[in-house]
Amino acid sequence: MDLNDYEKLLDGAYEKIPENVKKSSRFEIPKVELRIESRNTYITNLNKIINTLNRDRRHFLGIFLKKAGTMGEIRGQQLFMKGIHKEQALDRLIDQYTKMYVLCKICKKPDTDIQREGKKIFLKCTACGAREEIKEK
């Protein structure tokens, strides 16, 4: 068997893994890609990030912009942010959002939904069944 056949075999095996397992085992938030223009910042891969987080875009933006301490809005496929922002700082904010609103507190998998009950918000995990209250500061 040559190397090409072996790789084909691996691809085949990978295809057979159910979609949800593939998703959680390969969960990785894309790093922000920025474009600075006239002293403002554009996140050019916003859709990719939101798709990975699998959260409501408005929910994400509300929290993200507040933490970044700036104003912003969607412009086409990009997120416009007032002022110049550093990649590392924005990645860190996204990381904080992910830990709070996406990853299960118990099993650390991203297969979760946000549930609202009055003023309380819960993170319901479809992987392990945990349901933890999200305590917003």
Is residue 56 within 8 Å of residue 43, measured between CB atoms? no
Under 8 Å between Cβ of 55 and 101: yes
Q: Given candidates 29, 63, 121, 127, which one binds Zn ion under the rule CB under 5 A?
A: 127
103 forms part of the interface with Zn ion (CB under 5 A): no
Tell which one of 63, 65, 68, 106 touches Zn ion (CB under 5 A).
106
Q: Which is nearer to Zn ion, 68 or 127 (CB)?
A: 127
Fill in the DSSP letter of residue 27. Answer: -
Residues 119, 83: Cα–Cα separation, whole Å: 33
Applying the rule CB under 5 A, the residues between 16 and 35 that interact with Zn ion are none
Scanning 13-21, 43-51, 65-73, 125-133 for contacts with Zn ion by CB under 5 A, the matching segment is 125-133
Instruction: Examine residue 130 and tell whether it contacts Zn ion (CB under 5 A).
Output: yes
> Where do the DSSP E strands lie in the chain?
34-37, 40-43, 72-75, 78-81, 112-117, 120-125, 131-134
Query: Under the rule (CB under 5 A), what is the footprint of Zn ion?
Result: 104, 106-107, 125, 127-128, 130
